[in-house]
Amino acid sequence: MFAPVYFDYNATTPVLDCVREAMLPYFSQRYGNASSRHEYGRAARLAIDTAREQVAAALGAHPTEIVFTSGGSEANNLFVKGAAACMKPGTVAISAIEHPCVREPARELARHGWALREIAVDGAGRVRLDDFDAALAKQPGLVSVMFANNETGVVQDIALLAQRAKPGRGWFHSDAVQALGKLPLDFRRLNADGVHALTVSSHKIGGPKGAAALVLDKRVELTPLIAGGGHERGLRSGTENVPAIVGFGVACEWAAGRVADAAQRLGSLRATLERGVAAQGATIFGLGAERLPNTVYFAVPHVDGETLVGQIDRAGYAVASGAACSSAKPEPSHVLMAMGVAPELARGAVRVSLGADSTEDMVNGFLLALAETLRRLRGLAALAA
């Protein structure tokens, strides 16, 4: 396979060597069902217990607060639908820039008697405190604001928001899928601030696809999405995906130990990248807001994002246009729309997200390829004019 430079770590990440090696024995040797009581089952259960401790430790949570799911989308759906099912319909308040796997369940609640309140963001993609407070005035039963946005990388001040929401007595959830491994996360402290649940996912931090967790304050009552054998304290039935959970645990341990270093290293690469794209006439989204150290989201005026991404892919760099998860729809990003970006400019959006294997050379190579691609596209445009 032709191997382009991978600059799409917010979509997914390569599984780390140490993670893959840790998983391997659980496919064909220690392959037991963790519910079985014989030797194979006990080995599987032990592996899950260890992974639960690793995930909890990386997040400053207690192992009993970790509910394993098959992915971040499932964990977000579990929180939104599961908590709502234990309440009388009221108001669900979410930010206008949530991932579809928070937004769609919230919309489903709105079809079943709930009022859906979307909280506005400012031009830099930050939740507007005045609108957040206005949403709180509706006394929402559920509030969900993502920790860091998958497209822009903009980081919300979740502790501050949770503190403001705390007197309201609703449950406060944050989708922290993009934050894990890129920012320090401390559930114990966040919980004290009023955060009741966090979603984190394995495949965004060098772990395998197929494992994620809802970190959950045990006071929150949830109806499971998947009922059956009663796994995960009855909150998520189904045979545990042992190798994936083992890999998630190791990836958490690996990532937690490197957050500070990674942030510094990636932040420096990002600075190079941003200077370079700005010099080529790009608008960078979310400038002025605190952002993930690995993410640059930009558009070059009058250049279509899809086209640019396709050309750059051919030049050997894998980057994203809009969010990968909703890339079936070529509409301009709802995140950029919420930020008040003109649709024309939003259609040019390109996301570069860096990770563990990214280097300065790769960033410089990308900037050269971008310049070359823009020169060619502009030449074609001039010919057509």
Q: Does 13 bind its own copies (CB under 8 A)?
A: yes
Letter for the amino acid at 212?
A
Q: Which is nearer to its own copies, 115 or 318 (CB)?
A: 318
Helix axes 305-314, 360-384, angle to 10 degrees: 120
Least distance in Å: CB of 137 to its own copies?
Answer: 28
Q: Catalytic residue among 18, 86, 101, 325, which? A: 325
Q: Which is nearer to its own copies, 68 or 132 (CB)?
A: 68
- Structural contact between residues 122 and 173, judged by C-beta atoms closer than 8 angstroms: no
Q: Does 157 bind its own copies (CB under 8 A)?
A: no
Q: Is 325 a catalytic residue?
A: yes
| Binding map of its own copies across residues 36-55, x = CB under 8 A, - = no contact | xxxxxx-x------------
Largest distance between two CA atoms of the chain: 74
Q: Does 208 bind its own copies (CB under 8 A)?
A: yes
| Binding map of its own copies across residues 216-255, x = CB under 8 A, - = no contact | -------x-xxxxxxx-----xxxxxxxx-----------
Q: Please, which of residues 72-91 interact with its own copies by CB under 8 A?
A: 72-74, 76-77
Q: Does 186 bind its own copies (CB under 8 A)?
A: no
Q: Please, which of residues 306-325 interact with its own copies by CB under 8 A?
A: 306, 309-310, 313, 318-321, 323-325
Q: What does each C-alpha distance from 183 to 126, 250, 265, 353 come to in angstroms?
A: 17, 18, 13, 15
Q: Does 64 bind its own copies (CB under 8 A)?
A: no
Among 209, 267, 287, 369, binds its own copies (CB under 8 A): 209
Spell out the alpha helix ranges (H) of the chain. 17-23, 25-28, 39-59, 72-84, 100-110, 129-136, 158-165, 187-193, 242-256, 259-279, 305-314, 334-338, 343-346, 360-384
Q: Which residue has the tokens 């809802």?
A: 214
Pair of tokens at residue 37:
């009581």
User: Which span (93-101, 255-263, 282-290, 340-348) binds its own copies, by CB under 8 A?
Assistant: 93-101
Q: What does each C-alpha distance from 376 to 5, 305, 311, 320 come to in angstroms?
A: 21, 15, 10, 20
Least distance in Å: CB of 39 to its own copies?
Answer: 5
Q: How many residues bind its own copies (CB under 8 A)?
A: 80
Task: Please name every residue paired with 381 in a beta bridge, in sequence order, or none if there are none.
Answer: none
The residue among 350, 308, 319, 318 whose CA lies nearest residue 333 is: 350
Q: Which positions are catalytic? A: 325
